[in-house]
Amino acid sequence: MNIRAELAKFLNLCFVFSSAYMFWQTYSLIADTHSPIVVVLSGSMEPAFQRGDILFLWNRNKYSKVGDIVVYEVEDKQIPIVHRVLREHHSTKNNGKQLLLTKGDNNAGNDIPLYAGKKTYLAKNKDIVGTVKGYFPHLGYVTIWVAENKYAKFALLGFLAITSLFGDE
Amino acid sequence: MFSLSQRVQYIANFSMTVGLVIVALIIGSSHLDFFQKGILRNSQAAIANIKPIVGFRTSRFYGAANGHPKENTRIAFDLNTDLSGLFNWNTKQVFVYLTAEYNNTEKGTLNEVTFWDAILPDADHAIIKLENTRSKYSVWDYTGDLSGKDLQFKLHWNVQPHVGPLMYGVAQGDDIIVNVPKPESKV
């Protein structure tokens, strides 16, 4: 066994992970949001967005427009929701706050029952994670598969282990 | 020497590059198509015959708080438009929505609300002829009333692609401004 070659391989792996992490952090800095790429988890925007589709977000806009598809998080629930803005109200004063009402295209009613507590509106500056700008189908299904199937995790780890064992030619 | 893992890696890399090039070509050519048709800046819609219907609701899901009834407005409207030009090989669906913008000068807010929307799955459904259609949503203002306000109606569209960026636009047409009348009584 050649220790130098093994170390080089390990370093290469570190490089792959750190560059992926750097890409994520840079994009999140540019787009001003904590998760700039999200995977669709629910069917409430079908048929346009299906489970496993990837969405690219942007959060530098001060106000959302009606018709924008936004990703928001409800307090004390960790699942991000992707829905369309149905109404917007903002103050004409400088730095006036904006309130939004959202709805899934495929849902019958608006999102008031989903909001935390007795809230009937979302605040743009607090609740919105980002506005959907770009779309790529199906590719994110891998993450859903790994997160929801306990054997998938082991299969993925096993595959990585086997390739790293036999990959030194 | 070529090993199995090298071959697999090469095939994976190559197919990913080919895939990305195809995606770029699809996005580029569909934008070129829209640009040639001039549809992005020049879609037309005729909104007419808007009749506001004003009433009261007592549910908190219709803006009421502490049991005080909230003024809610629906409309009946005519709509004529042909958005079939927004469909090409990269259009998955078009979402159309009829909104009203209004200014609440007492509270100092600018507002935009949706009265009606629809998912258009293909070009055949993109030719819309509606007559005396009721709005899909019952709308209230979050601080005050809609009555007495001048609502400016516009038809917007959003192209949702098979892959690539989302596109938005407003259909051109006459300025449609409607004043919402006071409701008759608090029922």
Q: Where are the domains of chain A?
A: 1-31, 34-138, 140-169
- What is the distance between the alpha carbons of residues A140 and B185, in angstroms, rounded to a whole number? 53
Instruction: For residue B161, give how far its alpha carbon lies from the nearest alpha carbon of chain A (Å).
Output: 7
- What is the distance between the alpha carbons of residues A160 and A155, in angstroms, rounded to a whole number? 9
Size of interface A-B (CB pairs under 8 A): 97
Residue B187 has pLDDT above 60, yes or no: no
- What is the distance between the alpha carbons of residues A32 and A45, in angstroms, rounded to a whole number? 24
Per-residue pLDDT, A146: 83
Residue among A48, A66, A89 minimizing CB distance to B93: A48
Contact A119, A73 (CB under 8 A): no
Counting every residue written for chain A, the total comes to 169
Write out the two tokens for A161: 């282990």
* ipTM of the complex in this document: 0.90
Query: Do β-strands A81-91 and B109-120 pair in parallel, antiparallel, or remain unpaired?
Result: antiparallel
Judged by average pLDDT, the poorest of A40-54, B86-100, B109-123 is A40-54
* Element (DSSP H or E) covering residue A46: none
Residue A94 has pLDDT above 80, yes or no: no
Of the candidates B97, B108, B70, the residue with the CA atom closest to the CA atom of residue B159: B97
Instruction: Could you please state the CATH topology (level 3) that the domain comprising A34-138 is classified under.
Output: Umud Fragment, subunit A (2.10.109)
Q: Which residues of A are catalytic?
A: 44, 83, 111
CA atoms within 13 Å, Cβ hemisphere of B2:
5
Residue B29 has pLDDT above 60, yes or no: yes
* Nearest C-alpha in B relative to A165: B5
Phi, psi values for residue A99, rounded to 5°: -110, 140
Residue A169 has pLDDT above 50, yes or no: no
Mean pLDDT of all residues in chain B? 92
Q: Which residue's entry shows tokens 């007559």?
A: B131
